[in-house]
Chains A and B, each alone.
Chain A
Amino acid sequence: MSAHLAGANAPLTLTVGPVLYLWSRADLLRFYADLADSPVHTVVLGEVVCARRRELRLPDWLDLARELRQAGKDVVLATQALVETEADLRLIEHQAEQGEFAVEAADASALQLLAGRVPLVLGPHLNIYSHAALVEHADLGAVRWVAPVELPLDAVARINPPAQPVHTPAGEAMRTEVWAFGRVPLSFSARCFTARHHGVTKDSCGLRCLADPDGLPMNSTDGSSFLVLNGTQTQSAAVQCLLGDADALRAAGASSLRLSPCSRGFLQVLQDFDAVINAKRSATTAMAAWPALGVPGPYGNGYARRQPGMTWSET
């Protein structure tokens, strides 16, 4: 977004992040077919959590990407968050070679293999915590950064100031995206916690995570919902939701909001974000209808406010 567009009335576009769970091929295809008619602007595609999840492979993702582009969507491919093997690196190499779509980098391996070869998006797991760090990454030709999840909005505004955004070497202004909906990926491990719970090894896991389309709840022993296990990834149980924070998001310079898919009610969540953020409908009314649709809860919005992420304040 150019600087003069920033401000109270700038449109916030919606980005659907990669599906973080193992869903069946049929469920994935159905999910993306539904997105074609939704108010989403950008769709990020790919398996980013576990190399053993292969319901769709790169050629399938590329077919899907072309279909979504036909439907008018901006499409970005995403790299795997934790890169450990030569096979992981080869997959990124193939993503660099495809030449049709931008790619969102999840780690420095991806930055190394992608920079200068494809339009680059800086994913939320790259540690960009200051203006100087964003300048370093803009130098790679990246045109959008997704702020790390734990960053408060006041920090986001300092890192890429809306009135004076960071520029790429080609002179393009860097755009800011903020994680606005979804269970938050809080950590990654080489170890699979879903497999550990089921008492099976990672290499013969039987893809047990297919049974948990929104993750496997891990509660504190007094019964409070706390985290969810998603294979090698650990997520918050609470859904980070900034639906009521449109003004603060604009003030921080966000030009797009990332919505991370959940298995039920997600299309309604998309509609509600569009209506609340861009047509000033009530966030509270919209959210009140979510539990009945199966949208996971509870909610958190603490990170945006320089609080523990799991806390929730009404806006």
Chain B
Amino acid sequence: MTTNACRKPQLVCPAGSLRALRSAVDEGADAVYLGLKDATNARNFAGLNFDDAQIREGVAHAHARGAEVLMALNTFADALDPSPWFRAADKAVALGADALIVADSAVMAWCRRQHPQLRLHLSVQASATSHAAIEFYRQRYGIQRAVLPRVLTLQQVAQVVRQSSVDIEVFGFGSLCVMVEGRCTLSSWVTGQSPNNAGVCSPASAVRWTEQADGGVDARLGGVLIDHYGADEARGYPTLCKGRFEVEGRREYALEEPTSLDTMELLPQLMAIGVAAIKIEGRQRSAAYVAQVTRAWRTAIDRAAADPAHFVPGAAEQAVLAAHAEGQRHTLGAYERPWR
């Protein structure tokens, strides 16, 4: 049971490259998370992620500065050949990762058998939205932390923290899944590839841009028209759930608008609840993004911990986060649920 009522949460930052990892560590991340260059993690994008030598170097850099390295192994072992997932777990141990972020019961069972000392964090991709679900994974596989899907209200997060005997990590900033993570196959319906089966959502290989006569452009995914941007409209990436569609003759963002999650103003509440760690999304983003966002959150967490009663996000931090938000807009997401 979490008893420390106002602990300082760990700041967990994304590393899609060695440069990003160094930026995060140097700007004050308590932990960084990274993945291998394959489908064993949920940011399986070309040009991203780590080979063995880079992990070794990243671990050395992080450990020298007191930061932890978490390895994301958070897709589902493939039926035809599950061995890359098991090898990845072995590799995490061999290369000195401090914990593995896992979603698949097959992978967890392997870790318990082969690497009983390895710390396991339950990935958001495991879709555990209640204390009972988290307890299932704790009892069977000994997970020591759970990352919550971005669908719970602040009250519900508090309830989970109160009733869980493992640490709880929540998302603080970054791109927003409006669907429960680990349970969304919209992308494979259209492209054959999904976060669960390939570590990707709305993959770039399935995107087609076509100039139109009005000077605008059509964005298609797997042949399906996801959005049309007029000549004077800012163009976004055609993530399936963030396109404009027609419902009863009305064209609208029927699922979600292009927007990012930003919970900085909730920091004192998240700390009072007893959240153990705050995760920044964005392994696919640049090292510059990681540096700036990490610095902003480091500053904010330190200030909130020093004086939670009077905490408001600083103008400088807010400006940084606004500049990096998708569509330059941000939301408190499910934590406050204006749509409830």
Q: Are B130 and A310 in contact (CB under 8 A)?
A: no
Give the distance to chain A from B307, nearest Cβ to Cβ, in Å: 32
In the assembled complex, B312 has its CB within 8 A of some CB on chain A: no
The 7 closest A-B pairs by CB, nearest first: A132-B106, A155-B79, A129-B76, A108-B133, A190-B151, A112-B136, A187-B179
Give the distance to chain B from A157, nearest Cβ to Cβ, in Å: 8
Q: How far is the CA of A196 from the CA of B252 in the complex (A)?
A: 10
In the assembled complex, A245 has its CB within 8 A of some CB on chain B: no
Q: Chain A residues near B164 (CB, 8 Å)?
A: none
**B233-261 contacts to A (CB < 8 Å):** 241, 244-248, 250-252, 254-255
Give the distance to chain B from A51, nearest Cβ to Cβ, in Å: 13
Q: Chain A residues near B225 (CB, 8 Å)?
A: 220-222, 224
Can you list 11 pairs linking A and B with CB atoms under 8 Å apart?
A127-B196, A129-B79, A129-B196, A130-B79, A136-B140, A187-B184, A189-B151, A189-B255, A202-B339, A216-B247, A221-B228
Known contacts A132-B106, A226-B245; A112/B80 CB under 8 A = no
Give the distance to chain B from A313, nearest Cβ to Cβ, in Å: 13
Q: Are B340 and A108 in contact (CB under 8 A)?
A: no
**B99-142 contacts to A (CB < 8 Å):** 103-106, 108-110, 126-130, 132-137, 139-140
Binds B, one of A53-61, A79-87, A286-294: A79-87
Q: Are A201 and B179 in contact (CB under 8 A)?
A: no
Identify the closest chain A residue to B134 (Cβ). A108
Q: Are A187 and B254 in contact (CB under 8 A)?
A: no
Number of A residues, CB within 8 Å of B: 72
Number of B residues, CB within 8 Å of A: 68
In the assembled complex, A206 has its CB within 8 A of some CB on chain B: no
Q: Chain B residues near A187 (CB, 8 Å)?
A: 179-180, 183-186, 241
Q: Which residues of A contact B (CB under 8 A)?
A: 81-86, 88-89, 92, 107-109, 111-113, 125, 127-133, 135-137, 148-151, 154-156, 158-159, 184, 186-193, 195-197, 201-203, 216-224, 226-227, 229, 234, 236, 300, 302-303, 306-310
Known contacts A190-B334, A201-B340; A133/B136 CB under 8 A = no
Partner of B197, one of A86, A129, A159: A129
Interface string of B202-237 (1 = CB under 8 A from A): 000000000000000000001011111000000000
Q: Are B132 and A84 in contact (CB under 8 A)?
A: no
Q: Chain A residues near B222 (CB, 8 Å)?
A: 308, 310
In the assembled complex, B92 has its CB within 8 A of some CB on chain A: no
Partner of A234, one of B139, B186, B228: B186
In the assembled complex, B87 has its CB within 8 A of some CB on chain A: no
Q: Are B136 and A155 in contact (CB under 8 A)?
A: no
**B170-195 contacts to A (CB < 8 Å):** 178-180, 182-186, 188-192, 194
Identify the closest chain B residue to A88 (Cβ). B130
Give the distance to chain A from B216, nearest Cβ to Cβ, in Å: 12
Q: Are B183 and A188 in contact (CB under 8 A)?
A: yes
Known contacts A187-B180, A223-B246; A150/B188 CB under 8 A = yes
Beyond the given A133-B77, A150-B189, please list 18 additional residue pairs across the A-B interface where CB-CB is below 8 A: A109-B130, A112-B135, A125-B183, A127-B103, A129-B79, A137-B105, A150-B197, A186-B186, A192-B339, A201-B340, A216-B247, A219-B247, A221-B227, A221-B228, A227-B245, A303-B188, A310-B190, A310-B222
In the assembled complex, B82 has its CB within 8 A of some CB on chain A: yes
Q: Chain B residues near A88 (CB, 8 Å)?
A: 130
In the assembled complex, B152 has its CB within 8 A of some CB on chain A: yes
